Amino acid sequence: MEGRSRIPESAQNGPHEQLAALIERRGGQGYRKPVAPYSADAFTRFAAKCPPGAPLIVDSCCGTGESTLNLAAAFPDHFVLGVDQSADRLSRAPLPPANALLLRADMADIWRLLHEGGYRPARQYMLYPNPWPKIGQLARRWPAHPVFPLVLALGGTIECRSNWRIYVEEFALAARLISGLRSPVDMFAPAVPITPFERKYLASGHTLYRCVLECGA
Ligand SMILES: C[S@@+](CC[C@H](N)C(=O)[O-])C[C@H]1O[C@@H](n2cnc3c(N)ncnc32)[C@H](O)[C@@H]1O
């Protein structure tokens, strides 16, 4: 995390030209890959602490959990679930407060389990997801992933941040194509960074972008 970081380089100069076709081809079909046992175990631990009706915030791909702890402090009346697949990153997390839980799991599984379990988060965060900026990597980006319609169906206020504007544009475009939601992509400058990547990008002088969707209850 030391030193200057680079803005993702890509041959794209706007949203991927195949994104709309990919979403249309899927026609809202669900993501059928079996849930990984380690994700299911992690979800069971979460469900034991937080019932479906409780006010919930989901911090997807939370890395070292710094944002999860910041969100737990900012929203003390919510339970904040931070999920990352990297045991190494999570091993650097401090002990979470009573209203937060950090889990090692695959987000693609957790979103599905949350939806099946009747959870409807008040807020969801997608903070600096891996950009996968090469043209051929489109399907690895969350807005192009077959689980993305379920992220939208979970609802709440959904915020995506990145230092790669095109990622956030694809997030906004996918939301419009799938759910008819329209929301702008804005530049923003947080007074205090809430994640390690946010801090690193600000220190490197990058412009940050975000899109906030209001998906309702
Ligand atoms: C660029 S880092 C950002 C971490 C953190 N949000 C931040 O801003 O500091 C992207 C994170 O996504 C996690 N990740 C990637 N794919 C994932 C998946 N399918 N499920 C859970 N975490 C994932 C990676 O392990 C990594 O920690």
CB atoms within 10 A of CB 188: 10
Q: How far is the CA of 106 from the centre of ligand 1 (A)?
A: 10
Number of structural domains, the chain? 1
Q: What is the CATH number of the domain that holds 205?
A: 3.40.50.150
- Residues of the chain where predicted confidence (pLDDT) is lower than 50: 1-2
Rounded to a whole number of angstroms, the CA Rg of the chain reads 16
Question: Tell me, what's the pLDDT at 28?
Answer: 72
Q: How far is CA 186 from CA 20, 119, 120, 165, in A?
A: 21, 29, 26, 9
163-190 pLDDT per residue, tens: 999 999 999 999 999 999 999 999 999 9
* Dist CA 124 CA 133 (whole Å): 23
Helices (H), the chain: 19-26, 37-49, 66-74, 87-91, 107-116, 148-154, 165-179, 196-203
For 95, counting Cβ atoms within 10 Å of its Cβ (0-12 exposed, 13-18 middle, 19+ buried), the class is: exposed
Question: Tell me, what's the pLDDT at 217?
Answer: 67
Residue with CA closest to ligand 1 atom 6:
62
Please report whether residue 10 resides in a domain: no
Please report whether residue 7 resides in a domain: no
Pick the atom of ligand 1 nearest to 83's CA.
Answer: 21
Q: How far is the CA of 147 from the centre of ligand 1 (A)?
A: 16
Taking phi over 0 as left and psi of -120 to 50 as alpha, with beta for the rest, 147 belongs to alpha
* Dist CA 42 CA 215 (whole Å): 26
Please report whether residue 201 resides in a domain: yes
Which of 58, 71, 84 gets mutated to test ligand 1 (max ligand atoms within 8 A of its CB)? 84
Please report whether residue 4 resides in a domain: no
- Whose structure tokens read 């979970």? 154
CB atoms within 10 A of CB 106: 18
| Residue 177: closest CA among 31, 64, 63, 16 | 16
Q: How far is the CA of 130 from the centre of ligand 1 (A)?
A: 6
* Dist CA 72 CA 193 (whole Å): 15
Please give the residue range of the domain that contains residue 81. Answer: 19-27+38-214
Please report whether residue 161 resides in a domain: yes
Residue with CA closest to ligand 1 atom 3:
128
Please report whether residue 193 resides in a domain: yes
Please report whether residue 3 resides in a domain: no
